[in-house]
Amino acid sequence: MNLTTHYLGLELKNPFVPSASPLSRNIDTCRRLEDAGASALVMYSLFEEEIMAEAEHLEHLWEYQDIGQCETDSFLPVHYEYRTREEEYLEQLSALKSALEIPVIASLNGTTPKGWTEHARDLQEAGADALELNIYYVPTDLSESGQAVEDRYIEILKRVRKHISIPVTVKLSQQFSSPGHFIKQLEAAGADGVALFNRFFHPDLDLEKLEVTSVLTPSTPQEALLRLHWIALIHNRVKLSLAATGGIHSANEVIKILLAGADVTHLCTTLLQHGPERIRTIQQGVENWMERNEYKSVEQLKGSVSQMNAMDPAAYERTNYMEILQSYQPK
Ligand SMILES: Cc1cc2nc3c(=O)[nH]c(=O)nc-3n(C[C@H](O)[C@H](O)[C@H](O)COP(=O)(O)O)c2cc1C
């Protein structure tokens, strides 16, 4: 059984890639991911916002220290001992590169044009095999058009692309009015891949305190269907690499997403819930299914039920919507 796949110009031994999560903060956990079969690893994101907040805080702290409050001085971190968030991230990246044989993909969430480019360059220098841009932008200004939001993404990508030579992929939200068209634009602007779709958390309301709350809810396999749909629609219509992220919990979702046309499947919630060894179970399930269905390789499997290759391409389109509604039998 040949599980080899190609993603962002890298040859990977299989399509099981842990996506950005706290799991990559621990080297031993990452070794377990690799031992269980992970073919590459996406690190948690380096957040520029965090770096900036920290820089402001430190500036204040050093200023205060310089005034010379003798007693409090001893409680403050000494300049040379202090590691900034970025230094910590770069150290973790180098440590992962030394500890693992699989490619390590860094992840960046920037906020300023300078931040996107400078941090991207630092990540490349620290040895990242590729870079995932985790662009998280909520257009709260009601006068900003969808086109302006898309231009913002393209601008970030072009800037980063100009400053680094490693492959760059963009992790997208699902909230674009014409994802296929936008992905083609990203491709033209130099993206080597896209990851569909990031899963953002929505504010909730506490009905007792009347406060806005934020909770992290685990994804469900149902969420993989949105990813399957868009991957099936764009497979073979773009040349860049396709990763699916969101709701991939078992071998079933992995197989479906590969049939739709993804090059890799990103795993997160399922690994947080079941541990790194979950990859082994998923791989076993995929291999069993391939054997039963006489597939010899993942390359042969990829995209074999994308819209272009499906027996009924219209099933991915609007006609199906009407049929589903009309065939519903109320209880
Ligand atoms: C606890 C947690 C931390 C995450 N951290 C990041 C991150 O730093 N950067 C990022 O791009 N995505 C991050 N994600 C998103 C995941 O990589 C993934 O895209 C998303 O959870 C959907 O996949 P899933 O359904 O398998 O969880 C995080 C998700 C969780 C649950």
Residue 77: the pLDDT is 55
In the predicted model, is pLDDT for residue 113 greater than 70?
yes
Q: Is any ligand 1 atom within 6 A of the Cβ of residue 269?
A: yes
Q: Is any ligand 1 atom within 6 A of the Cβ of residue 265?
A: no
Q: Is any ligand 1 atom within 6 A of the Cβ of residue 159?
A: no
Residue 201: the pLDDT is 82
pLDDT tens-digit series, residues 236-245: 999 999 999 9
In the predicted model, is pLDDT for residue 96 greater than 80?
yes
Percent of the chain, pLDDT > 70? Answer: 91
Mean pLDDT of 99-122: 95
Higher pLDDT, 39 or 69: 39
Q: Choose among 278, 152, 262, 128: nearest CA to 197.
A: 262
Mean pLDDT of 24-52: 95
Site to probe by mutation for ligand 1, drawn from 254, 268, 271, 282 as the one with most ligand atoms within 8 Å of Cβ, is: 268
From CA 330, how far away is CA 130, in angstroms rounded? 50
Q: Helix count (H) and strand count (E) of the chain?
A: 13, 12
Residue nearest ligand 1's atom 17 by CA:
20
Residue 2, classed as helix, strand or coil, is strand
In the predicted model, is pLDDT for residue 163 greater than 90?
yes
Q: Which atom of ligand 1 is nearest to 47's Cα?
A: 8
User: What is the value of pTM for the model shown?
Assistant: 0.92
pLDDT tens-digit series, residues 47-75: 988 877 766 666 666 565 555 555 555 55
From CA 273, how far away is CA 132, in angstroms rounded? 24
Mean pLDDT of 27-34: 98
Q: How far does the centroid of ligand 1 lie from the alpha carbon of residue 199, in Å?
A: 7
In the predicted model, is pLDDT for residue 323 greater than 90?
no
| Mean pLDDT (the chain, rounded) | 92
In the predicted model, is pLDDT for residue 101 greater than 60?
yes
Q: Is any ligand 1 atom within 6 A of the Cβ of residue 248?
A: yes
Q: Which atom of ligand 1 is nearest to 45's Cα?
A: 8
Positive or negative torsion for Cα 239, 234, 226, 250: negative
In the predicted model, is pLDDT for residue 289 greater than 60?
yes
Site to probe by mutation for ligand 1, drawn from 16, 19, 135 as the one with most ligand atoms within 8 Å of Cβ, is: 19
